Amino acid sequence: MAHHSTKRSKRHRAATPPARGRTVAAAALTAVAAAAGVCGTAAAAPAAGPGSGASDTDRGTVKAQIAALYRQADQLTQTFDAAQEQESALSLAVQRSQSKLQTMQADYEHQRAAIGAIAANQYRAGGVDQRLALMLADHPETFLGNEAMATRVSDQQSRKVAEVIEERRQIVQLQRAAADQLSALNQTRDTAARSRTQVTEQLHKAQSLLNTLSAPQRRAAIQADLGADPASPFTGEQPDPNTPDQNLPAPSDRARAAIEAAIADLGKPYVFGAEGPDAFDCSGLIQQAWRQAGVELPRTSSEQAQAGQQIPLSQIQPGDLVIYYAGRSHIGMYVGDGKIIHAPHPGTQVRYAPLMSMPVNMVVRV
């Protein structure tokens, strides 16, 4: 297998997740999957095609193509999930920047009014001519740069002018940062939209292939696990004949709580981009299960692979995360007895699967 350095990321105690428009997003994503025709277990009526009259080789090829499309959709789903997570963080950052900018702008205008009062007083006292008074009020940075003018105000007034200049500098800096954040947010939204479109295309292709099979064959193809990727040389970790130990308990109370949460979600549908509570994609299920155990994990399978200590497959214990494929595009939770719980792909539900039903990239203990 490919070797990855062990990384520990800071574990966060679970808190109420920030509002991210999950209800709207989940509804939209459910509609996308439904449009693709593979969100539920029922398949569309078969079009004219090989069906039951096709050879076993033809049917095997079609099923392999369907599995490949589901694997590709799974990987694209993780790209979408990452974009959604980044969009949420950037949206919050933009909101905070805009709020801070409004506060600073209001304070700046108040300070400028105070500077105007200084200029007016100086003018009335005959200390500054009208032209210089206007410069003091409208362009304080120019005023301080004029030595002759600066000597005509008190130290306290000079400090007030300097404070206004600094606040103006900070406002300009924050405006630029907010513009950069907004640009990044728009780019992230574009990435999410492209990923959603690509996933939908893959699901449509899978549905077209499913329609060439008979009803029993369609059901079998939909319910099949993702399996190995014949197009990839990656074979993953291989188990020791004596492992996994079926009798090992979960190593911690949190691991037991996460397993219980995952078990409670058995039977809930896979929906692209969903993170619960009624539907999940693979990483959304893991994040939700560990959140119920008091641990906040990142959103995607590749990020979750870095959320704890990498463990040899021979030392796997219940509650450990199992990351699959070379691109770390799928994830499940080991629950003992040689099984994982995972959300496989559209058309399936959260369910048990054999630990080695897909090529294992790494095992991580949270």
Q: Is the peptide bond before 277 cis (omega within 30 degrees of 0)?
A: yes
Q: Is the pLDDT of residue 67 over 70?
A: yes
Q: What's the rounded Cα separation, in Å, for the pair 358 and 110?
A: 64
Q: Tell me the one-letter amino acid at 179.
A: A
Q: Is the pLDDT of residue 364 over 90?
A: yes
Q: Is the pLDDT of residue 210 over 50?
A: yes
User: For the range 85-94, what are the long-range contacts, defined as Cβ-Cβ under 8 Å and sequence gap of 24 or more?
Assistant: 85/298, 85/299, 85/300, 86/188, 87/185, 87/188, 87/189, 87/192, 88/18, 88/20, 90/181, 90/184, 90/185, 90/188, 91/185, 92/18, 93/181, 94/178, 94/181, 94/182, 94/185
Q: What's the rounded Cα separation, in Å, for the pair 272 and 351?
A: 16
Q: Is the pLDDT of residue 96 over 90?
A: no
Give the mean pLDDT of 132-141: 51
Q: Is the pLDDT of residue 119 over 70?
A: no
* Range ranked top by mean pLDDT from 24-28, 151-155, 335-339: 335-339
pLDDT of res. 79: 76
Q: What's the rounded Cα separation, in Å, for the pair 245 and 316?
A: 8
What top-level class would CATH report for the domain 231-366? alpha beta
- Helices 56-124 and 215-223, interaxial angle, to 10°? 50
User: For the range 90-99, what are the long-range contacts, defined as Cβ-Cβ under 8 Å and sequence gap of 24 or more?
Assistant: 90/181, 90/184, 90/185, 90/188, 91/185, 92/18, 93/181, 94/178, 94/181, 94/182, 94/185, 97/174, 97/177, 97/178, 97/181, 98/178
If pLDDT is split at 50, 70 and 90, which confidence band does 48 have? very low
Using an 8 Å Cβ cutoff, are 43 and 209 in contact? no
Contacts of 48 (CB under 8 A, 6+ apart): none
If pLDDT is split at 50, 70 and 90, which confidence band does 200 have? confident
Higher pLDDT, 41 or 264: 264
Domain ranges of the chain: 20-35+50-224, 231-366
- Produce one character per residue of 316-332: b if its CB has 16 or more CB atoms within 10 Å, e if not: bbbbbbbbbbebbbbbb
Pairing of strands 309-311, 321-324: unpaired
> In 3-state terms, what secondary structure has residue 162?
helix
Q: Is the pLDDT of residue 304 over 60?
A: yes
pLDDT of res. 41: 34
Q: Tell me the one-letter amino acid at 283.
A: S
Q: Is the pLDDT of residue 136 over 60?
A: no
Give me the percent of the chain exceeding a pLDDT of 90. Answer: 26
**DSSP 8-state code for residue 133:** H
As given in the structure block, the two tokens for residue 147 are 């030595």
pLDDT digits (tens, 9 = 90+) for 249-258: 888 999 999 9
pLDDT of res. 72: 76
Q: What's the rounded Cα separation, in Å, for the pair 122 and 95?
A: 41
Higher pLDDT, 340 or 82: 340
Q: Is the pLDDT of residue 282 over 90?
A: yes
Q: Is the pLDDT of residue 302 over 70?
A: yes
Q: Give the 3-state DSSP-derived string for 106-130, with helices as H, strands as E and coil as C.
A: HHHHHHHHHHHHHHHHHHHCCCCCH
Q: Is the pLDDT of residue 296 over 60?
A: yes
pTM: 0.58
Beta bridge partners of 342: 351
